[in-house]
Amino acid sequence: MRRSRRSTCRRCRGGGGRDAAPAGGGRRAAAQADGCDRRHEPRDAGTCPRLWLRRRSRADAGRREAAPAHPPCRRADPGRIQPNARLVFEAGHSHRGAARSAQPFKRCEVTMDFVTVEGRTLRDALKPLLEVARTRKTIPVMGHVRLDFDGASLRLTANDLDVEAVTVVDAIDGAGEWSICLPARELGGIARVAGPMPVRIEPGGGEAGHVATIRLGDGEAVYTLGQLPASDFPGRVATPGKVIERFGNGLLAECLAKVAAYVSAEETRYYLNGVCWHGGPKGLRFVATDGHRLACCRYDAEPCERPARIIPRQTVALILRHMAGADVTVRDDAGGRLSLVFESAGLTLRSKLIDGAFPDFDRVIPQPGPFTLALKRADMLAAIDRLGVFGRSAFSWKVKLWGEAGRLALSRRDDGGAVTVRTASDWPPATAGADLPPIGVNGRYLADMLRDCAGEASLALTGPSDPFLIRDTDERMTRVLMPMRV
């Protein structure tokens, strides 16, 4: 039985009629002239797919022109859709032509990625991050804060490749799960001026994917910030591993505060640019030194063998400012890297450690000698202040301590003159028939160490050329001051 000519390509079959192939061209030439390059056989009764699709599209275009306009979207107004909006349509509403569906309109919803947090909470969460984020021309993302929203809370992260700070903020409202990077300084300024108002952050999307919008309150202020993709942000400095120790009631910050002033700022001896966390037969201690003075704080007298770890000066400063009085859990790195993780309520610090060998400080700490100077702190600080009239150079702060009529006297000589100050402290008497000769110290270092002492202090020494051992009423603290030649 012969098939219908309507479902076949007449030119390809060489049929007659208005679609017949032109004379002299053959069936193949006629098919190629109408957009068909198939090699049809003379008896092929199948359809030509290319011609069929072309004629079908022409027919559809005619029906769309004749069909009435479909009902407009109620909430999908193109002029009101945000750049990061996502359109969600229910079945039964066709946007390709009302002639294809006679079902009534049901719902057209616009969803948008955003998060709303309180301004004061955001400001407090950004404080430690602003100290970590640093602007570098070679790596622009280093001056940014990464924002990760998981639908319930907003996580903020700052990373300078050595220290990483992470804070978490509870969200008032939000939608989607997204991650972006915003400039740290500008974001901190917006959070500062927001006060108690809610802050709504909308990441950019679509054509404006490089711009984020931040709204304060009900639109009192609207900011636009350039954003960077989260994939540009550096990876983690450390991965939390097993727990090393837990410090309660702010013990970690309290111990570090006693020794932080003695950390060296000299880059040549980089291994002194931090606090050494040491464990050994004499217990667990924090030690810092700059080569001229040393401070040691022992918080646990139980012997404990533990490898020494040098915590960088920047990490120590962050702990003192933002973890004071808090319970802190210290973990090592799960990947075996030389780093530590400090966790407290609302703040996590991941820090690299200094790769170096800390000096054997036990060899520097002297044993109590035969001579002891009982120093009255207020009187000694006032005497050192009187010596500061002459000279402003740090190299000219050599102070001579000697005895005059059984009292401790301080003298200093400079190009501008000389000064001698008598104090109320007693000069130690002769021991075993030997008098204590005059000794020399750095006046500024001695004043700083006396200010750190709790209560009255004492200076124990063996001779004028030996290190001086300074003790106070805090039995956990040991301070050492190196002498100067007079």
pTM more than 0.85:
no
101 within domain boundaries? no
> Is residue 371 domain-shared with residue 350, that is, in the same domain?
no
> Is residue 248 domain-shared with residue 355, that is, in the same domain?
yes
Given a cut of 90, is residue 29 above it in pLDDT?
A: no
Cα gap 417→264, rounded to integer Å: 32
Give 259-274 pLDDT, tens digit per residue. 999 999 998 999 999 9
78 within domain boundaries? no
215 within domain boundaries? yes
> Is residue 180 domain-shared with residue 245, that is, in the same domain?
no
The predicted pLDDT at position 382 comes to: 93
Given a cut of 60, is residue 208 above it in pLDDT?
A: no
Give 83-116 pLDDT, tens digit per residue. 555 544 444 444 444 444 445 444 545 568 999 9
Q: What average pLDDT does the chain have?
A: 81
Look up residue 304 and give its DSSP letter.
-
Give 323-350 pLDDT, tens digit per residue. 999 999 999 999 889 999 999 998 999 9
412 within domain boundaries? yes
What token pair was written down for 9? 């390509």
Radius of gyration of the chain (CA): 40
The predicted pLDDT at position 369 comes to: 79
> Is residue 385 domain-shared with residue 416, that is, in the same domain?
yes
Find which of 30-34, 67-71, 459-463 is predicted with most confidence, using mean pLDDT. 459-463
- Structural domain boundaries enclosing 295: 240-361
Given a cut of 80, is residue 53 above it in pLDDT?
A: no
103 within domain boundaries? no
Cα gap 114→84, rounded to integer Å: 9
Give 175-196 pLDDT, tens digit per residue. 999 999 999 999 999 999 999 9
User: CATH number of the domain that 212 lies in?
Assistant: 3.10.150.10
> Is residue 353 domain-shared with residue 383, that is, in the same domain?
no
Element (H or E) spanning 451, and its range? helix 443-452
Answer with the one of 332, 361, 390 that is the final residue of a domain. 361
User: Would you say 203 and 174 are in contact if contact means Cβ atoms under 8 Å apart?
Assistant: no
> Is residue 293 domain-shared with residue 353, that is, in the same domain?
yes
Helices (H), 103-217: 119-132, 184-194
Tell me the mean pLDDT in the region 7-19. Answer: 47
Nearest CA to 33 out of 56, 62, 12 is that of 12
The predicted pLDDT at position 43 comes to: 41
> Is residue 357 domain-shared with residue 251, that is, in the same domain?
yes
DSSP 436-449: PPPEEEEHHHHHHH
91 within domain boundaries? no
Give 125-172 pLDDT, tens digit per residue. 999 999 999 877 678 899 999 999 998 999 999 999 999 999 999 999
Cα gap 298→284, rounded to integer Å: 6
| CA distance readout (Å), 182 to 156, 317, 338 | 10, 25, 29
How many structural domains compose the chain?
A: 4
> Is residue 316 domain-shared with residue 336, that is, in the same domain?
yes
> Is residue 288 domain-shared with residue 382, that is, in the same domain?
no
179 within domain boundaries? yes
> Is residue 400 domain-shared with residue 477, that is, in the same domain?
yes
459: CB partners within 8 A, 6+ apart:
372, 373, 375, 468, 469, 470
What token pair was written down for 332? 């090592």
> Is residue 203 domain-shared with residue 226, that is, in the same domain?
yes
Answer with the one of 232, 264, 285 that is the final residue of a domain. 232
User: CATH number of the domain that 433 lies in?
Assistant: 3.70.10.10
* Angle at 475 (CA atoms; ends 373, 265), nearest 5 degrees: 80
- AA letter at 480: V
> Is residue 267 domain-shared with residue 246, that is, in the same domain?
yes
